[in-house]
Amino acid sequence: MAFWFSESHTDHVRMDILVDEQLYSKTSNYQKICVFQSREFGRVLTLDDVIVLTEKDEFIYHEMLVHPAMAVHPNVKRVLVVGAGDGGALRELSQYPQIESIDLVEIDSMLIDACKEYLPTTAVGYLDPRVTVHIQDGLKFIRKLQDVYDLIIVDSTDPFGPGEVLFTKEFYGNCYKALREYGIMINQHESAFYSYEASAMKRAHKRIKESFPIHGVYQAHIPSYPSGHWLFGFASINYKPLEDLDAERWNSLGITTRYYNTDLHIGSFYLPNYVKDMLNSSR
């Protein structure tokens, strides 16, 4: 039997992936969680029928979520990861011996369990003894914190359903407060090509600009995401994403990457005109 998983990127565009076998499908208190095996992308995790990651290209997303900030901030000790139940961000962070503690806040424990069982190459990040898992709403967790983290990674789903609070002005303001003086916040920043993600991108950018003095947007090629052109936000209190990149320091660390390098770091911030125009108009 052959069947296809089909994701609507807009009402008028779909991407289909041939499924070898469905491995997992359960509905938690928050969302429908599925994992299937595919020929082209390996295992694929979907939440509410939207692809969250595939084994073939999740390295691009997770490397770009973690390494740009780590190549800028020379002294990250305490990290908060919000909403990345799959463990991919943890895996990348676990390459840095300098990090002392990583708090992971994920609202859905069933998602973590599914990833540990069906996506071991991603969930391997949970094995790092520096990780503490908090099963909680990200906004509630961060509200009470002040001056704690050097790096906050907001690895949210789209701003609909459980991921929605992670795109609010209140949440970004609380992230600012929870960061130390030289802290950096990185967030999943949606995309510019299709109007659905573009409006979320503009809204997120506007709110981050209101909360942080320094705010950049950078891009990556992620084939399994709508349009393949995905964006990340770099918001900080002091460090600038390009001027404060310390390529020599990062390259001396011997971190293994398949996508990220310190030249690409620079290029990832050089956005197309149409994307820059959309971000500039998001006032």
Please report whether residue 21 would count as binding a copy of itself according to CB under 8 A: no
Please report whether residue 11 would count as binding a copy of itself according to CB under 8 A: yes
Please report whether residue 24 would count as binding a copy of itself according to CB under 8 A: no
Stretch that binds a copy of itself, among 10-18, 114-122, 135-143, 209-217 (CB under 8 A): 10-18
Please report whether residue 211 would count as binding a copy of itself according to CB under 8 A: no
Kind plus residue range of the DSSP H or E element containing 205: helix 195-211
Q: Exposed (0-12), middle (13-18) or buried (19+): which is 267, by Cβ within 10 Å?
A: exposed
The length of the chain is: 283
Please report whether residue 194 would count as binding a copy of itself according to CB under 8 A: yes
Please report whether residue 227 would count as binding a copy of itself according to CB under 8 A: yes
Annotated active-site residue 11? The verdict is no
**Residue 103 beta carbon to a copy of itself: minimum distance, rounded to whole angstroms:** 29
**Of residues 141-170, which lie at the interface with a copy of itself (CB under 8 A)?**
none
Cα gap 67→88, rounded to integer Å = 12
**Residue 228 beta carbon to a copy of itself: minimum distance, rounded to whole angstroms:** 2
With contacts defined by CB under 8 A, how many residues of the chain interact with a copy of itself?
A: 42
Cα gap 14→8, rounded to integer Å = 4
Please report whether residue 213 would count as binding a copy of itself according to CB under 8 A: no
Cβ contact 42:21 at 8 Å: no
Cβ contact 201:230 at 8 Å: no
Q: Given the complex with a copy of itself, which of 76 and 271 has the nearer CB atom?
A: 271
| DSSP labels, 94-162 | TT-TT--EEEEEES-HHHHHHHHHH-HHHHGGGG-TTEEEEES-HHHHHHT--S-EEEEEE----SSGG
| Stretch 251-270: interaction string toward a copy of itself, x if CB under 8 A | ------xxxxx-xx-xxxxx
Structure tokens at 200: 């979320």
Q: Which among 155, 244, 263, 277 is annotated as catalytic?
A: 155
Secondary structure percentages of the chain, helix, strand, coil, to 5: 35, 30, 30
Structure tokens at 132: 């503490």
| Stretch 66-85: interaction string toward a copy of itself, x if CB under 8 A | --------------------
Q: Given the complex with a copy of itself, which of 7 and 113 has the nearer CB atom?
A: 7
Q: Given the complex with a copy of itself, which of 17 and 114 has the nearer CB atom?
A: 17
Catalytic positions, written as ranges: 155
Enumerate binding residues for a copy of itself (CB under 8 A).
4, 6, 10-18, 38-41, 57, 60, 193-194, 219, 221, 223, 227-229, 257-261, 263-264, 266-274, 276
